[in-house]
Amino acid sequence: MMARAPAILSCVLIAGLLTRADAANQAVTHVIVIEGVKFTPEVLTLKRGDWVQWINKDPFPHTATAKGVFDSHSIASGGTWKYRVRSVGDIDYVCTFHPNMVAKLHIEQ
C-alpha cells in the first residue's frame, strides 16, 4: 500500500496541473459597448480564440464590420452580436451606418 501512495499523489498533482493549464487556455468573452455613436474601447487587445461581444446601447442600429473578416449586419438598439477571433494580428472595423465610428481588435497568440 505504501508504494501506491506516491503514484496516486503524482496522478493527483498531474491532474491538477492539467486542469490549471486547461483553465489558462479557456476562451474569454470581451465586451465592446456601442454608445454615443462610438465603440468602447476603441482598441481591444485579446487572444486568438477569445470572443468579442458588441452591445448596442444607442437608440438606433449599428454594425461591427471588418471587410472580408466579419460583419454583424444590423445590431438593433439593445441588441448584441458575438464574434470569435481566429487569427493573430490587427483587425480594423467600422460601423457601416456611421463610417466615423472606427475601432480595432489587436489579437495576440
The enclosing domain of 91 has a CATH number of 2.60.40.420
- Helices marked H in the chain: 4-24
Q: Residue 92: in which H helix or E strand, if any?
A: strand 89-95
Closest-CA residue to 54 (of 70, 39, 69): 39
92 lies in a domain? Answer: yes
Overall number of domains in the chain: 1
Q: Tell me the pLDDT of the chain averaged across its residues.
A: 86
44 lies in a domain? Answer: yes
pTM (two decimals): 0.77
Q: Which domain holds residue 84?
A: 27-108
21 lies in a domain? Answer: no
The pLDDT confidence band at residue 39, using thresholds 50, 70 and 90, is very high
4 lies in a domain? Answer: no
59 lies in a domain? Answer: yes
Predicted local confidence at residue 3, as pLDDT: 52
Give the full edge-to-edge strand order of the sheet including 43-47.
Answer: 43-47, 98-108, 89-95, 65-66, 70-71
